Chain A
C-alpha cells in the first residue's frame, strides 16, 4: 500500500512500482490492464480484437492458460521480442514498463486471483472494535492508523486549540471563527468542549452555505445559460434550496430523490419542484441557426453524463459513440439511461430568456398575501365596471342620442382669459381667440391658456388650429419653421373650487399632417410622457400653411357659467424654438369628421379554421394560414392532411359577441383576417375580447398575445395598431383551448368610420336589442367613448392595481424546473453519437453491471432515484461519502472523485470508504452526522506540521499522518477577508449579487446583444455578501474565484485543482475588496480604545486575522513594517490619502499591515 500511495503522489505513475509481495488484482493489476489493454480487449464489443476480453474473469483466465508466468499467453505476448506479436502493440503508444510486467508476472505466479472491480461490489462494514460499538470516528482512526502502522509512519499529535478551532470552523461553515465563537470554545475547558463547539458550527446557517457550495460546483449551477448569448437564467431558488437542504440536514437519499425527481413525487411541493431544477442545470443555447434536434440530443447527453459523474462517479460519456472501453457500460445501456432524461415538456432551445419553460414563479408569503388582496379588489372593480352605473349609463344615453346625427361639427372658439408662458415670453390674445407669441422665443416653453367652458353643452372634441397669417408662411417659430408639440394637457375646473383642477383625459387624437420620420405622430403628444425626442411634429420645414389637430374628449359638461378649461401646450423638444406662433382652440359637441381621404376603410372579414391542434399552448408559436404573410383570399392551406381556405365572413360584426367554430373535445385555432386601408399612416386601437387565447399580427409582425382561456370580457384588451399608408393586413389568431370560442372586437379611432352593423344597432330602439347586444354596446361605449369621471375613477383604480400586481410579478423570482411529457419521447441509440443517425429504439433501463432496479419501482426518474439509494447500490453512498471526505481532507479516499471506474484511482483506504458508506446509508444518509464523525476523529484533529520523514514517505499526506492543510478556495478567502474585517453581511439567500470586478471582462467576450454583456456592480450591502451568492456568468466566471481554480460551471466539476500562482498573489494584494477589508481592519484597530500602544495593536490585528497569538518575532517584524510605513506616509501624506481616503499616515500604515496579514501563507491556508 505504501508504495502504491507513494506512486500516486505523482500523477498516476503506477508503472514506477515493483511489488515484492503478491500483487492484489483490484489494486495493482486491473489498473494496468485497464490503462493498457481494455481499449482493444475490454467491454467495447465493436472494437474488440482477436475476440479476447481481459475485463472479465472468464476472458482473463482464458488468456492465462497455465499459471506458469513464463509460458502463458498473456505474459508471452507482453514480453515478446517480436514487434508484431508484442502487446500492447508499439503503435498503440502505451508500452508496459518493466515494473508493470513484473507485477503481472508476480500476480500470475501467486495464483492469478481475480476479483470484480471494487466499486461495483456492494460495500460491507468490516470492522468492530473491542467495545462492540464502533463509531464512525473510531473506524476512521482504526483504518487510517492501521495503514500508518504498516508503513511505520508516526501520526502527529493533536493540533493546538486555536488552529483546530479555525480549521474546523472553515470546514463546517467556510468562515473563520468569530472572536466570540473562539472565546467561548477556548474558555470551555470541561470535557466535550470540542464536540460542543462542533455542534454549534453544525447548527450554524453558514453550514449550508459552505457545504452547499461544493454541490453547486458539482452540478454546474450558474446564473447564465452558458452558451452563445449566455443570457441571464434565473435559478437562484435552486441554489437556496441546496443551502436549505444542507442546513435542515435533509437526508442525502431524499436530497437525491428530490433533485432527480421532485416533480414526480406524489403531490409534489413547490420546494420539491424547485429541486427538480437540478435536471435543468445543463448549459443551453438559442444560437440562431441551431438545429433543434441536435441541441435537444446534446442536452440529453449532458444530463446523462452529469448523472453519471454526480451519482455514479462514472464517466458515462465514453459510451455516447461506442461501448465504454474501460467500464462495462454498453452504448445501448447508455442510451437506455439517457431515456430517463429525454422527455422534458419544453423546448430544447432556451429562447435566451431567464425563465425558459418549464419554470416556476415562487412568491414569498408576503407577496402571496398581497396578490390575493389585489385579486379580490380587481374582482370587485370588474363587477362594478360590468354592472349598471347610473351616471355613466345616463352619459351613454346622451351619446346614443347624438351618435346617429353625426354631421360636420360646428366649432365654438374658446375665448381665452389668460395666456401665459413658462419661460416668461410675452403672449398676446387676439380678438378671434388666437394666442400669439409676441416676445422673443425661448428654446423650450409651456403655453398655458385658460378659458371659460361654455355651459350646458356636451363637448366632445377640441380642435387646435395652428394658424398663419399668410398661406406661404410657416407655422413654427424656429428657423426652419417646424414645431414639435411634446404634450398637450387639458384640465377642468368646475367653478366651485378655483384651485382644484381635474385632468381631462384625451381619448384619441388626429392631425392633418404628422411627420413620419420618428415618434412624431400626434398621439405622442397625448401619451402622458414629456421628453425631448417625442411629440407631434408638423413638417413645418417642408410645407407652409396651417395645421390642425383634433382631440377626442369623451363628454365634457358643465352646468355652471364658472367652469374653466385649462390647456397646456408643452414644447420640450431637443430642437430649440420648435413652437407654434399662433394657435386657436375650438370645441364641438360632435366628433370631428374628417375628409374621406383621411378615413380608414375596413375590408371584408375572412376566417380560416378551425385547425385541430394537439396542445393549445403550442399553437401560440406555431404558424397557421398566412398569419405572418400577405393575404390572398383564394389561398388554401394544408394542415394535418386536410385543406383549408379563407371564408368570407359577413357574420362577424364589430362590438357584439360572435361565436367561432370550434371542435368537440379538441383544441383548435381560427385565424381571422381583415384589411385596413389608411390614407395616412396613423395609429388606431384594436379592442378585443375572447374566451380563448389570441395572437395579433399586423403586417407580418406579432404585436400582441394573450395566452390561456378565460371568461369572455367583451373588448377586454386594447392593442395599438400602427397602420402604414395603404393596405394593412390585420390577423387575429384565436387559440381555443376547449369549449366555446367566443369573440368580440372593435376599432377605436375618430378616423374609423362607424361600421354598418354598429350604426344599425344604434338606430334600433334600446328595447329592441337583445340582452347580449345591450351588454356589449355598454361595453363598447364605456371602452371607446366614455370619459365620465365616475367611469374614469374605476379605470384608474384598475390600472393602478394592475400596475401593482405587475410590480410584484416582476419581483417574483422564477426558477427552471422539470416537467415530464405526458408521453415519454422515444429513445434511440444515436450512431456515433450523431443526433441525425438514430439507431435501434431503446427502453429506459439501468446498466446491467449494477444491481437491477426493483420491479416495483416506476420506470422513470423517480424509480431511477430510488434505485440509486437502494441498499444494494454499490456506488451512490461511496461516491457521496468520498466527496465529503475530499471536502475536508483536500483529496478523496478515491482521489479521482469523478471516476470510480477502472480508469479511476483505487481508494487509499478501501475498507474505510466501505465502512463509512455503509454506515452513512444505515444511518438515514445523515450528512451532519457523517461530517461530525470526520471532524471528531483523531485523524482530522492532527497537527499539520510536516516532518521530513513524512514528506519523504508520503508527500501528499494520503496516509493522513498529519492534519489537513491546504490553500483555501477563492470563496473562503474572500469571505475570510470580509469576516475578519467585519465587513461581511451574512444575510442568507436571495438573488445573486455582483461585487465589483475589473471593468470590461464581460464586454471583452460577450455577444453585443446579450443581457449580460455589460457588468454593473452592485452597491451597498450586496457587495459584502458571501461569495456563494456571487453572480456566475458561465462564459466569464468571476475572476476573484476563477483565479483560485473555481470552475466555469459549464460542466460538472467534482474537484477543483489547487494551484499556486503569481496571479493569485496579485489578486490578494490588489483586489479592491481585499484592500477594503484591510482598510476596515485599520480603522477598527485605531478605534479600539483598549489598546495602549502599537505593539498591542499589532497583536490585536494578528489574532483577528490568523486566530493565533503572534510570537515575539512576528510582532517585531510587523512592528518594524508598521513603523517604516508610518514614517514613509508621514512624509507622503498625499499617498496616504490616495490609499485610504484620509490624510493619515497611521491609517495607511495599519492598512498596509492588515493587507500583509491577509496575504500570509497561514491565512491563505486552512
Chain B
C-alpha cells in the first residue's frame, strides 16, 4: 500500500488533519451548553457530567451490572432453606402467605404445595455462607461479595418489574440507571459511550422474557445519555463500520473536506452547534478505531480466557460479555450492563436453571477475579441480580425431581461486590419458606440509592425537572443507603 503515491499523500494529509482534531474536542466540551466540562478540581478525568457532582468522593468510579432477566430462583441458588425438605408437597401455610396477591398464573391453583430445592447446599468462606451446587464458582467468592437476601419490590410481573428496577418506575417513560449516571457523571473516555449495554445469549428456557430499549433508555433525559447497545454480531455499535469500499484513508479524506466546509459554515453563520458537529464527526472517526479495539479480545492471554470458561470466545455469550465488560471498565466506560435472559422458570426448573447457572456462574466469578488482579475491583462496583424472586410453592406439577416456581416480589437475593462494598457480608433474612423478609428489608429503590451513593451521588439530591417534578431515579418517597453492606 505504501508504494501508492496517492495513498501516501492522502495518509500524510490525514495525519496532518488529525492535529486539528484537538480543537474539535475542546469545542465539544465548551460548546455543549446543557452540560459543562468537568471541573478541573474534579477527582477524576470526567468529561461532561454535572459540575456539582459527585456529591461526595465516590468509592466506585464505574459499575458493571449483571442483570438476570426473568428472576432467578433465590432458594435454589443462595437462600438456603433446609427445613423445606420435610415440607415436600405440603401446602404453604396461610399464615405465611397472608393473603398476598398472586399472579393469575397461580392464583387459580387449588393448592400451593411446597417444592423444596433439590440442590445441595454447602458452607463456603470464612462465615460458612451457604451456596448451592449450581454456582460452584461464585460459592468460592462469598468472602468477596455482599449478599443481600432481603430485596423486595411491589411489581409482580416482568414488564413492570424490570422497568421498575431499571428506571425507578413501573410505567415506561423514565430514565434508566445508566443514563442517570451518564448524565450526572459524564464519561472518562471521550472515545467511547459512557453507558454500554450488552444482551447476552442464554441456554435455559428459550421462551425468554422480552427486554425493552427503555431499560437502558434515557426517558426524559436527552437521548445522548441513553445506553449504547454493543452488539455481538454485525457492527458492535450501530453504523460504526464504513461501507465496503471506503477505508479509513478515504474516510479521513472525506472528513477533511467536510470539516473545512463546515468550518466555513461556522464562520459564515456563527452557530456554535456547527463547531460541536465538527467535533462529533471527529469523535465518530475515533470511535471507528476505539470500539473495534475494545471488542477485539485476541490480545487477551490464554489464562484470562480460560478463567472465563469455554464460551468466552463465542460472541454474545455471557462469558464473552463479562470479559468485554472488564475491557470497558479498563477503558473508563462509566456503566456497563449485561442482560442475561431465560430465568423465568415457571415449570421444569431443574431442566433449565442449571443451564442458566452454567452460563453465568464461572464468568461472573472470573470477572471479579480479573478486576481484582488488575487492582480495579477497588473502584469498580459489580452488581448481580434480577427483577424479583420466585415462590417456594410449586407452579404446575410437582414431583421429587421436577417443579416450577411463580413470580415472587416479596423477597429475592442479589449480590454486590467491589468499589465500596463490604466483602463477605450477608445482609437480610427471610423466613424458613423464603417467602417473607424477617430482617433488614431492602427495597429496589434502596438498592439504586446505594449504587448511586457508591458512585458519589446522593439519590435524593440527584434530580431532573420534568413534567413539573423533580424527577429522581429512586422516586418521591424517602429511600436509604444500605450502609450495612458498605465497607
Q: How far is the CB of B258 from chain A (nearest CB, A)?
A: 5
Contact status B467-A899, CB under 8 Å: yes
Contact status B171-A965, CB under 8 Å: no
Q: How far is the CB of A769 from chain B (nearest CB, A)?
A: 50
Contacts of A274 in B (CB 8 A): none
Contacts of B193 in A (CB 8 A): 1063
Q: Contact check: which of B240, B273, B469 meets A967 at CB < 8 Å? A: B273
Q: Using an 8 Å CB-CB cutoff, how does the interface string of A698-712 with B read, 1 for contact, 0 for none?
A: 000000000000000
Contact status A903-B469, CB under 8 Å: yes
| A934-969 at interface with B (beta carbon < 8 Å) | 944-948, 951, 955, 965-967
| Cα–Cα, bound, A1063→B186 (Å) | 16
Q: Using an 8 Å CB-CB cutoff, how does the interface string of A1066-1101 with B read, 1 for contact, 0 for none?
A: 110111100100000000000000000000000000
Contacts of B231 in A (CB 8 A): 998, 1000, 1004
Contact status B213-A1037, CB under 8 Å: yes
Contacts of B158 in A (CB 8 A): 228, 287
Contact status A899-B210, CB under 8 Å: no
Chain A contact-residue range equals: 35 or more
At the interface, yes or no: A1007 with Cβ under 8 Å from chain B? yes
Q: How far is the CB of A78 from chain B (nearest CB, A)?
A: 19
At the interface, yes or no: B483 with Cβ under 8 Å from chain A? no
Q: How far is the CB of A332 from chain B (nearest CB, A)?
A: 19
Contact status A998-B235, CB under 8 Å: yes
Q: Using an 8 Å CB-CB cutoff, how does the interface string of A507-550 with B read, 1 for contact, 0 for none?
A: 00000000000000000000000000000000000000000000
| Cα–Cα, bound, A1006→B244 (Å) | 30
Contact status B461-A93, CB under 8 Å: yes
Contact status A1125-B253, CB under 8 Å: yes
| Cα–Cα, bound, A21→B258 (Å) | 49
Contacts of A1057 in B (CB 8 A): 222-223
Q: Contact check: which of B104, B240, B274 meets A1066 at CB < 8 Å? A: B240
Q: Contact check: which of B103, B207, B243, B284 meets A1062 at CB < 8 Å? A: B284
At the interface, yes or no: A469 with Cβ under 8 Å from chain B? no
Residue of A nearest to B158 (CB): A287
Residue of A nearest to B269 (CB): A945
At the interface, yes or no: A742 with Cβ under 8 Å from chain B? no
Known: A948-B270, A1050-B173. Is A1063-B264 also a contact (CB below 8 A)? no
At the interface, yes or no: B486 with Cβ under 8 Å from chain A? no
At the interface, yes or no: A1136 with Cβ under 8 Å from chain B? yes
Contact status B208-A1045, CB under 8 Å: no
Contact status A1070-B277, CB under 8 Å: no
| Cα–Cα, bound, A59→B261 (Å) | 60
Known: A836-B101, A898-B467, A951-B270. Is A1005-B212 also a contact (CB below 8 A)? yes
Q: Which of A404-412, A487-495, A558-566, A1154-1162 forms contacts with chain B?
A: A1154-1162
Most buried by A among B223, B229, B407: B223
| Cα–Cα, bound, A1065→B207 (Å) | 37
Q: Which of A8-16, A202-210, A379-387 forms contacts with chain B?
A: A8-16
At the interface, yes or no: A498 with Cβ under 8 Å from chain B? no
Known: A315-B469, A1004-B231, A1059-B223. Is A1009-B257 also a contact (CB below 8 A)? no
Contact status A904-B468, CB under 8 Å: yes
At the interface, yes or no: B217 with Cβ under 8 Å from chain A? yes
Q: Using an 8 Å CB-CB cutoff, how does the interface string of A1031-1056 with B read, 1 for contact, 0 for none?
A: 00001110100110100101100000
At the interface, yes or no: B254 with Cβ under 8 Å from chain A? yes
Q: Which of A121-129, A803-811, A1110-1118 forms contacts with chain B?
A: A1110-1118
Q: How far is the CB of A307 from chain B (nearest CB, A)?
A: 14
Known: A1050-B214, A1067-B238. Is A1139-B243 also a contact (CB below 8 A)? yes
| Cα–Cα, bound, A1008→B199 (Å) | 14
Contacts of B58 in A (CB 8 A): none
Residue of B nearest to A1046 (CB): B223
| Cα–Cα, bound, A1051→B211 (Å) | 17
At the interface, yes or no: B479 with Cβ under 8 Å from chain A? no
Most buried by A among B4, B228, B280: B280
Residue of B nearest to A955 (CB): B33
Contact status A1067-B234, CB under 8 Å: no
Contact status A1125-B250, CB under 8 Å: yes
| Cα–Cα, bound, A1164→B261 (Å) | 13
Q: Which of A185-193, A845-853, A1127-1135 forms contacts with chain B?
A: A1127-1135
Contacts of A445 in B (CB 8 A): none
Q: Using an 8 Å CB-CB cutoff, how does the interface string of A851-886 with B read, 1 for contact, 0 for none?
A: 000000000000000000000000000000000000
Most buried by B among A302, A1050, A1071, A1165: A1050
| A976-996 at interface with B (beta carbon < 8 Å) | none
At the interface, yes or no: A161 with Cβ under 8 Å from chain B? no
Q: Contact check: which of A326, A944, A1006 meets B210 at CB < 8 Å? A: A1006
Q: Using an 8 Å CB-CB cutoff, how does the interface string of B221-255 with A read, 1 for contact, 0 for none?
A: 01110001101011101111111111101110110
Contacts of B157 in A (CB 8 A): 228, 287-290
| Cα–Cα, bound, A83→B211 (Å) | 48
Contact status A1035-B280, CB under 8 Å: no
| Cα–Cα, bound, A1160→B269 (Å) | 13
Contacts of B199 in A (CB 8 A): 1004-1005
Q: Contact check: which of A9, A1048, A1161 meets B262 at CB < 8 Å? A: A1161
Q: Contact check: which of A902, A1004, A1005, A1075 meets B243 at CB < 8 Å? A: A1075
Q: How far is the CB of B108 from chain A (nearest CB, A)?
A: 11
At the interface, yes or no: B406 with Cβ under 8 Å from chain A? yes
Contacts of B287 in A (CB 8 A): 1062, 1066
| Cα–Cα, bound, A898→B467 (Å) | 7
Contacts of B278 in A (CB 8 A): 1161
At the interface, yes or no: B156 with Cβ under 8 Å from chain A? yes
Q: How far is the CB of B65 from chain A (nearest CB, A)?
A: 17
Contact status A1069-B242, CB under 8 Å: yes
Contact status A289-B250, CB under 8 Å: no
Residue of A nearest to B207 (CB): A1008
Contacts of B258 in A (CB 8 A): 1156, 1159-1160
Contact status B264-A965, CB under 8 Å: no
Residue of A nearest to B221 (CB): A1057
At the interface, yes or no: A1064 with Cβ under 8 Å from chain B? yes
At the interface, yes or no: B439 with Cβ under 8 Å from chain A? no
Residue of A nearest to B234 (CB): A998
| Cα–Cα, bound, A302→B172 (Å) | 10
Contact status B254-A1152, CB under 8 Å: yes
Known: A228-B158, A944-B269, A1063-B237. Is A1121-B222 also a contact (CB below 8 A)? no
Contact status A999-B277, CB under 8 Å: no
Contact status A1071-B239, CB under 8 Å: yes
| Cα–Cα, bound, A1137→B105 (Å) | 58
At the interface, yes or no: B12 with Cβ under 8 Å from chain A? no
Contact status A965-B271, CB under 8 Å: yes
Known: A951-B270, A999-B234, A1127-B6. Is A287-B159 also a contact (CB below 8 A)? yes
Residue of B nearest to A1037 (CB): B213
Contact status B213-A9, CB under 8 Å: no
At the interface, yes or no: B2 with Cβ under 8 Å from chain A? no
30 example contacts (A-B, Cβ-Cβ < 8 A) are as follows: A10-B33, A93-B460, A285-B159, A315-B467, A896-B468, A967-B273, A998-B234, A1004-B199, A1005-B213, A1035-B212, A1043-B223, A1063-B237, A1063-B238, A1063-B239, A1063-B284, A1065-B277, A1065-B280, A1065-B281, A1065-B284, A1075-B243, A1113-B264, A1118-B257, A1121-B254, A1124-B10, A1128-B249, A1131-B6, A1138-B244, A1138-B245, A1148-B245, A1165-B273
Query: Which 4 A-B residue pairs are closest in the complex by CB-CB distance?
Result: A1139-B245, A289-B103, A903-B468, A946-B270
User: Other CB < 8 Å A-B pairs besides A226-B172, A1043-B238, 10 of them?
Assistant: A317-B467, A945-B270, A946-B271, A1007-B210, A1008-B206, A1035-B210, A1045-B223, A1128-B7, A1156-B258, A1161-B266
Q: Which residues of A contact B (CB under 8 A)?
A: 9-12, 93, 226-230, 283, 285, 287-292, 298, 302, 309, 315, 317-318, 326-327, 836, 896, 898-899, 901-904, 944-948, 951, 955, 965-967, 998-1001, 1004-1010, 1035-1037, 1039, 1042-1043, 1045, 1048, 1050-1051, 1057, 1059-1067, 1069-1072, 1075, 1113-1114, 1117-1118, 1120-1121, 1124-1125, 1127-1128, 1131, 1135-1140, 1148, 1152, 1155-1156, 1159-1162, 1164-1165
